[in-house]
Homo-oligomer: A and B are copies of this chain.
Amino acid sequence: MSLRKGTLLSIRDDIRVMDVTIRDGGLCNNFAFTDEFVKQLYETNVKSGVDYMEFGYKASKKMFNEKEHGKWKFCNEEDIRAIVGENNTPMKIAVMADVGRCDYLTDFLPKSESVIDMVRVACYVHQMSAAVEMIEHFHSLGYETTCNIMAVSQVSADQILQALDILSTSSVDVIYLVDSFGSLYHENACELAQKYVEVAAQHGKIAGFHAHNNQNLAFANTVETLSYGVSYLDASMMGMGRGAGNCAMELLLGFLKNPKYSVYNTLDFIEKYMLPLKEAGIKWGFDIPYMLTGLFNRHPRSAIEFTSEDRKDYSKFYKELVEND
């Protein structure tokens, strides 16, 4: 196993923190955030030293009805500008584009006309070729790009290497390890992270990590993969994100030693804006059903359904998972 990069006391200049509260958290409330919430989150992120803020998805309006979802599923240029103006801050703006769920040829302006800085392309391993086509398009428009390869815990090591190989010859800037099901333990996550870091470094690219908290390891795995050379770190306020949620921003900013990052402002935001979401009944975060889908290396959809029905019969849910194994 290669050596860790830096120590618990050192600063790593390559680290970039990405706030995914609106994008991954939007999956919990159908992107129904108020403008005030998004504006305050934006200002909090800027004050906290966050490097990127992901505003949401650029979903296809042909496939999804704009009236049925909050606006951050679509991230219209004017909606982002209503929050950030010209974004005269050091923080960059990201959006996510899913392979097969966006109209990438028509829905993106040239970077010179857009306040968006980065497009993150999310795909499954079998969609790598489509992802690369999108990445090249976004690159030609002038955007920074990432590729977030999802659900790798259900894919063979060979297929992951093939995917990394395909990406290595593309124009992509950042290659993301994504623990979609929250099923990775440290040893798995770090072994994968080292592969990603190695391939990325060989081709002048950077590696990132996106965690889910099914087994309460989102922060732990983020810190561990970072120690093995991952640079881009996804986090969200109070870990808000689909199912068990993500790495909590407050934990990550508390951990990082670079004084540009500050946890203090996130606390103020959390008490004023996140607690009311919890009180309004928006659900996310570590809970037994998500733990079980993580343990079984499954998509969290059955746990999300279980939770949304306010079921508490955990042992029955366990049997349902075993029977469907």
Q: Which residues of A contact B (CB under 8 A)?
A: 4, 7-8, 185-188, 215-221, 223-224, 227, 248, 250-251, 254-255, 263-265, 267-268, 270-271, 275, 286, 288, 291-292, 295, 312-315, 317-318
Contacts and interface: CB of A to CB of B under 8 A. Distances in A.
A4 B7 CA distance: 20
Interface of A is mostly: helix
Contact of A217 (B220, B264, B288, B318): B220
Contacts of A223: 185-186
B219 A215 contact: yes
A254 B291 contact: yes
Given A267-B318, A271-B313, A271-B314, A187 B220 contact: no
Contact of A187 (B8, B268, B275): B8
A265 to B, nearest CB: 8
Nearest to A314: B267
15 contacts: A4-B187, A7-B187, A8-B188, A186-B224, A216-B216, A217-B220, A219-B220, A220-B221, A250-B288, A263-B295, A264-B315, A267-B315, A271-B312, A271-B313, A286-B286
B314 A251 contact: no
A179 B314 CA distance: 30
Nearest to A270: B314
A251 B267 CA distance: 28
A316 to B, nearest CB: 9
B288 A270 contact: yes
A286 B244 CA distance: 14
A291 B239 CA distance: 13
A282 to B, nearest CB: 17
Nearest to A186: B224
A255 B185 contact: yes
Q: Which of A8, A188, A216 has the most CB of B within 10 A?
A: A216
Contacts of A286: 286
A238 B246 CA distance: 20
Contacts of A271: 312-315
A292 B268 CA distance: 13
Contacts of A291: 250-251, 254
Contacts of A188: 8
B315 A215 contact: no
B312 A216 contact: no
B227 A216 contact: no
A216 B186 contact: no
Contacts of A8: 185, 187-188
Nearest to A312: B271
Query: Counting chain B CB atoms within 10 Å of each CB, which of A187, A267, A270 scores highest?
Result: A267
Contacts of A251: 215-216, 291
Contacts of A315: 264-265, 267-268, 271
